[in-house]
Chain A
Amino acid sequence: MLSDLTFGQYYETDSFVHRLDPRIKILILIAYVVFIFVARNFYAFLALAVFLVIAVIFSKIPFSNMIKSMKGILFIIVITVILNVFFYKGETQTVLFWIITKEALIFSAYMALRLIILVMGSVLLTFTTTPVALTDGIESLLSPLKVIKFPVHELALVMSIALRFIPILMGEADRIIMSQKARGADFDSGNVISRAKAMIPVLIPLLVSAFRRAEELGDAMDSRCYSSSAVRTKYKKLKLSARDLVATLVSIIIFVSVIFLNGLGGV
């Protein structure tokens, strides 16, 4: 059922990557995503992939979990590959049928590779960082924007509440699906349209309960005099350590090497 989803759920263990400062992890991920699109040839991709593998090893997360988390986006990858194979304008002769060129195949392969390591990188972040740490990190990274009156704290709060509610709503959806199934609802037969229609009896109660929960949470916060403008201290202060320095250095080395490897020629 829905609870089987492993996509992006925090994986509890103690590792080098888990202990990294969330800000460093977020920044490295952003740079990593940028370099995924900078990479132009096989060697550059190899460097990025090796980096990912090293990170996964140091995070003590079983590779099987990383693979499983790809299930959700498999569909997107397949679609992207198909579209690219057919619509990429190549120059050399066609290799397959009448429109598919060699360039198109290579380009789509790189595209698939890009998507896979991009998602794996992001999943690694959410696997190794609790939602609380993640929003703390984002809040801290965005705090310079407070100068221009950007509501950083509110944004972080909204994010953490949203993340917090995912498992709750998933459990709720599970329950509603069960009770509609008990009333004879059939979710997995028929064509796409009738399947989408079959979801209405689930989505409406889910929406209703989301609003109910939001209202209750709002009341609970009000009753404890929550105010976003109040100055508050943190129980866990984010602090950079030697570990973060090492991770940053390794990442910089990898990213610089990607630039050099790009020089070897590309697609």
Chain B
Amino acid sequence: MQIISKGLTFTYNREADFHRQALQGVDLTINEGDFFGIVGETGSGKSTFIQHLNGLIKVQGGSLWVGDFNLAPTDKQGKKQYKKMLKQLRHKVGMVFQYPEYQLFAETVFEDVAFGVKNFFPTLSDEEIEKRVAKAIDLVGLDYNKVKNKSPFELSGGQKRRAAIAGILVSEPEVLVLDEPVAGLDPVGKKRLMSLLHTLHDTGIVKTIVIVSHDMDEISENVNRVALFCGGRAVKVCTPKELFSQKDESSSRLGLPVTAYVSEKLNEVGVELSSDFKTENFIKDLVKKYKETV
């Protein structure tokens, strides 16, 4: 599913005197198959934008298409129809909020993960539900038989987050949107979670992944395209390489991934590297350069 946003605007508390315009016209296209990154300072509208993607926020101005879904409510469409569309949309676009473990509520991990399937497919048989839950729990790397009857509150922090993500994967979304998925995890947990996302993406279980992140290393390592949000607009949509090699005010406030920083310093002493800033390619390029000069 392709996501096309044109001139998307949004204002919080529109009628109150303390209203705040969070989106000032976002023009952005996310293609099917993208591993897409969204970066920007706090308050730049990233979270507001992604909440639009599965209809948690109603479109106020501009247009937003997610696949065949037109998210701007039209006059012809009744309220009931709109609600029905939202349900279909939400099952296709999974949303993982910041600290998703705070949404766990059920008595057992099984029940919690099953919540989404039961909501989206109320007619499924118990066996089918169990099959899907087991699959989702396996996908996130938890042991289904060990955790299914545990209380979600007994799990460790990293496990809780995985269980919460399983609760979203269980509805088999085509697009997965994650708001700072690794915030608060230890380095091992971070690495594991990112490799989980790559597995999902590479095997085509989830076609499109969108992550919001403040960690530039995470962006340069993982995404193929990135949008820079600033003041409620997507001011730049490009590859990480372009983002981190251009020098201007809006991107310099972001900071650089380690690889880009090292390249910059090498550049100052006359070593020109041409790779993108993925560690693997960066090292290859560096070694090649070294061999050439020696």
Give the B-binding residues of A (Cβ under 8 A).
3-4, 6, 172, 175-176, 178-186, 189, 200-202, 204-205, 208-209
* B102→A182 contact, CB < 8 A: no
- Residue from B91, B103, B153 in contact with A180 in the complex, judged by beta carbons closer than 8 Å: B103
- Could you give, for residues 100-114 of chain B, a 1 whenever the CB lies within 8 Å of some chain A CB and a 0 otherwise? 101111100000000
Contact for A201 among B51, B87, B91, B115, CB less than 8 A = B115
Q: Give 9 CB contacts A-B under 8 Å.
A: A179-B95, A181-B56, A182-B56, A182-B90, A183-B90, A183-B115, A185-B115, A185-B119, A201-B115
CA distance A182 to B89 in the complex (A): 9
By beta carbon, the residue of chain A nearest B100 is A179
Determine if B243 is an interface residue (Cβ-Cβ < 8 Å): no
Chain A positions within 8 Å of B51 at CB level: 178
- The smallest beta-carbon distance between A9 and chain B, in angstroms, is 10
A184 CB contacts on chain B under 8 angstroms: 87, 90-91, 115-116, 119-120, 171
Given A184-B90, A184-B119, A186-B119: A179 and B13 interface contact (C-beta under 8 Å): no
The A contact surface, by secondary structure, is: helix
Inter-chain contact A175/B105, CB cutoff 8 Å: no
B116 and A183 form a contact (CB under 8 A): yes
Interface residue? B229 (CB, 8 A): no
What CA separation (Å) do A189 and B54 show in the bound complex? 19
User: Closest CB-CB distance, B200 to chain A, in whole Å?
Assistant: 17
Contact A182-B115, Cβ < 8 Å, known A205-B102, A208-B153: no
Q: Quick check: A175 and B97 within 8 Å, CB to CB?
A: yes
Q: Which residues of A contact B106 (CB under 8 A)?
A: 201
Cα-based distance from A184 to B88 in the complex (angstroms): 9
**Cα A208 to Cα B107 with chains together (Å):** 13
- Extra pairs beyond A180-B115, A201-B103 (5, CB < 8 Å): A4-B16, A179-B102, A181-B56, A184-B91, A184-B171
Residues of A contacting B219 in the complex (Cβ-Cβ under 8 angstroms):
none
| A209 contacts B97, C-beta separation under 8 Å | no
Given contacts A175-B97, A201-B115, contact A181 B90 (CB under 8 A): yes
Inter-chain CA distance A184–B171, complex, in Å, is 9
Write out the residue numbers on chain A whose beta carbons fall within 8 Å of the beta carbon of B240.
Answer: none
A4 CA / B103 CA spacing, docked (Å):
22
Q: Are B103 and A176 in contact (CB under 8 A)?
A: yes
Most interface-central of A182, A184, A204 (chain B CB within 10 A)? A182
